[in-house]
């Protein structure tokens, strides 16, 4: 899913190269592949990679005469970049759900910035609306990612603390993407 926020948040050559590598954790690339994947010029890619390697964010290895580059997937900087990117990706989804829900929480690998292309998107939705109505709204948003949707009403969510304490904690450790405020208290 393309998001217009990406076009102005990921603008410089450094951001484009770093973003490309961060989206492909564990994969190694030669400069030409990075150039093709980012649209950054050959000298630009070369300069950015030198700086990212020097900063310790990207690893460089040599096999024969070829140099390979991959992101340090364990780096807190990489993980936080991915979290920011994940939130940006989910903004249209949040906007479409906010009139129907009390709370949206991103949890699991996506909220820790540890998601890979094969990761499910774990999303908790607190609402009085039916699961079907939430799924209908989600179908309008074209996300490539597989969504693992958990829908609870306030009563069943409070019961989770006793019935499913580990899962309850996992959700509560997640990233709150949206929460309705009680304006009557203000």
Task: Decide the pairing of beta strands 175-179 and 103-107.
Answer: antiparallel
Asked whether residue 26 is assigned to any structural domain, the reply reads: yes
Query: Is pLDDT of 115 > 50?
Result: yes
Q: What is the largest CA-CA distance in the chain?
A: 68
H/E segment holding residue 86: helix 76-97
Domain boundary, last residue among 40, 71, 102: 71
Please work out, in degrees rounded to the nearest 5, the angle formed at the alpha carbon of residue 84 by the alpha carbons of 111 and 72. 80
pLDDT value of position 142: 72
pLDDT value of position 157: 93
Taking residues 158-162, what's their average pLDDT? 92
Task: Give the range of the structural domain holding residue 122, as residue numbers without chain letter.
Answer: 90-179
pLDDT value of position 53: 97
- Same domain for 118 and 62? no
| Higher-pLDDT residue of 8, 124 | 124
pLDDT value of position 100: 93
Task: Kindly report the number of other CB atoms within 10 A of residue 98's CB atom.
Answer: 14
Give the pLDDT band (50/70/90) at residue 117: confident
- Same domain for 67 and 10? yes
pLDDT value of position 186: 39
Q: Is 63 helix (H, G, I), strand (E, B) or coil?
A: strand
Give the pLDDT band (50/70/90) at residue 116: confident
> Which residues are 67's β-sheet partners?
62
The count of C-alpha atoms lying within 13 angstroms of the C-alpha of 179, restricted to the half-sphere facing its C-beta, is 9
- Same domain for 45 and 100? no
What's the whole-number average pLDDT of the chain?
A: 90
């Amino acid at each position: 899913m393309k998001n217009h926020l990406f076009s102005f948040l990921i603008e410089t050559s450094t951001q484009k190269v770093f973003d490309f590598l961060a989206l492909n954790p564990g994969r190694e690339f030669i400069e030409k592949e990075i150039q093709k994947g980012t649209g950054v010029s050959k000298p630009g890619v070369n300069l950015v990679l030198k700086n990212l390697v020097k900063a310790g964010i990207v690893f460089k290895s040599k096999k024969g005469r070829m140099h390979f580059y991959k992101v340090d997937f364990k780096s807190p900087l990489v993980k936080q970049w991915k979290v920011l990117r994940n939130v940006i990706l989910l903004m249209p989804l949040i906007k479409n759900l906010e009139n129907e829900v009390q709370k949206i929480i991103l949890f699991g690998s996506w909220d820790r910035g540890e998601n890979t292309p094969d990761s499910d998107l774990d999303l908790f939705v607190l609402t009085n609306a039916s699961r079907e109505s939430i799924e209908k709204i989600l179908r309008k948003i074209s996300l490539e990612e597989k969504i693992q949707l958990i829908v609870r009403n306030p009563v069943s969510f409070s019961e989770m603390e006793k019935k499913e304490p580990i899962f309850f904690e996992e959700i509560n450790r997640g990233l709150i993407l949206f929460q309705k405020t009680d304006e009557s208290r203000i």
